[in-house]
Structure 1
Amino acid sequence: MSRIGKQLIRIPSGVNIKLTEKNILVKGPKGEIERSIPSCLSVVEKEDNSLQVLRKNEDISSREMHGLFRSLVSNMVIGTSKGFTKILELKGVGYKANIDKKALNLALGFSHPVRIEAPPGIELSVENNTIIKINGIEKEKVGLIAQQIRSIKPPEPYKGKGILYKAEVIQLKVGKSSK
């Protein structure tokens, strides 16, 4: 049995769960998320304010989905109660960011500014012109937007300039040496 799949999902106060045969709806103070339940799994609500994901059979596809779906449901509960945050840092001379009507404007040394629209459910904020905070209730979307912003100007290995995740360490390469 999956070590992750068999763990119980604790439901914090303020989070409501509505289970049907095919869907799970999680409502919390930050918002609500709905996801369909795979046909090979079932979700059971326990009396001690927790959820358990169970397999209906023991074939390979249900064993593959067991731990994954338990993690997805756990992320739904955490997202609707606390939310998820990713922090990016701009490193480089003249690299700046600002917010303009829910859109992120980046000056990264290109001949033009880069504009990124925030998708629904995602909040973008900027601190000190160099720190970008991405907040949302869906972990997948928050990580995807952070990766898309980072891919515009990934850190280069010689000077370490670019867009980095907070506390990311870039191994700098030694440049060319003259004879």
Structure 2
Amino acid sequence: MSRIGKKPVELPSGVSASLSGQTIEVKGPKGTQSFTATDDVTITIDGEAVTVTPRGKSKRALQQWGMSRTVVSNLVHGVQNTFKKELEIHGVGYRAAVQGNTLKLNLGYSHDVDFDIPQGITVACPKPTEIVIEGHDKQEVGEVAAKIRDWRRPEPYKGKGIRYKGEFIFRKEGKKK
């Protein structure tokens, strides 16, 4: 049984949801988002709450139950607020800057890395060693943060690279004589 799936998703004031088939569309002050659930779950709207229930007791139905409820919850949060990921850059000479719709990363390569910022995502660099990614779609914000981080993952010896804010990097001991 999914403990997450059992809880209904409350719709705050100013947010409305509509259902057509397996597609739920959530409207709020920041925009509209939709999600199409699989046939393994049933989505119902009961006044000011959205409930997700599994169809049957198969393993896949129970897996989709909790996941679908979480996605609906993220939709409701996304049309009301923004999701935010913060990245830190560690390393001598490593820096980032936003120019128009492009994030320019200087990460020790022989060339600068130009990352095109997707539609619906805002990227800011309050300091040359910090990147703040914001958007209304949680999956897209996380995906953009992961793609930026992949350009220079933190290495375990000196800790140089791009890491999430507050992330702990397990350090290894260097070579001994």
Bucket of the pairwise TM-score, normalised by the shorter protein: over 0.9
Q: What stretches of structure 1 of length at least 5 have no aligned partner? A: none
Quote the offset at 1:51 in angstroms. Answer: 1.1
Partner-residue secondary structure (3-state), 1:170: coil
Give the superposed CA RMSD: 1.3
In structure 2, distance between residues paired with 1:80 and 1:157: 38
In structure 2, distance between residues paired with 1:169 and 1:63: 33
Partner-residue secondary structure (3-state), 1:127: coil
Aligned pairs for 1:39-50 within 5 A: 39-47=39-47, 49-50=48-49
Q: TM-score, normalised by structure 2?
A: 0.94
Q: Letter of the 1:95 partner, please give it.
A: Y
Q: TM-score, normalised by structure 1?
A: 0.93
Partner-residue secondary structure (3-state), 1:71: helix
Deviating more after overlay: 116-125 vs 35-44: 35-44
In structure 2, distance between residues paired with 1:170 and 1:55: 39
In structure 1, distance between residues paired with 2:176 and 2:56: 63
Structure 1 moving runs of 4+ over 4 Å: none
The reply on whether 1:18 has 2:50 as its aligned counterpart is no
Aligned pairs for 1:120-159 within 5 A: 120-159=119-158
Quote the offset at 1:55 in angstroms. Answer: 2.2
Deviating more after overlay: 111-120 vs 9-18: 9-18
Partner-residue secondary structure (3-state), 1:69: helix
Aligned residue pair count? 177
1:49-90 per-residue CA deviation (whole Å, 9 max, x = no partner) reads: 111112233333322211111111111111111121100001
Distance 1:176 1:61, change over 3 A: closer
Deviating more after overlay: 140-149 vs 34-43: 34-43
Q: What stretches of structure 2 of length at least 5 have no aligned partner? A: none
Identity within the alignment, %: 40
In structure 2, distance between residues paired with 1:80 and 1:122: 14
> Quick check: 2:22–2:38 contact (8 Å CA) kept in 1?
yes
1:80-124 per-residue CA deviation (whole Å, 9 max, x = no partner) reads: 111211000011111111111121000111110000011122111
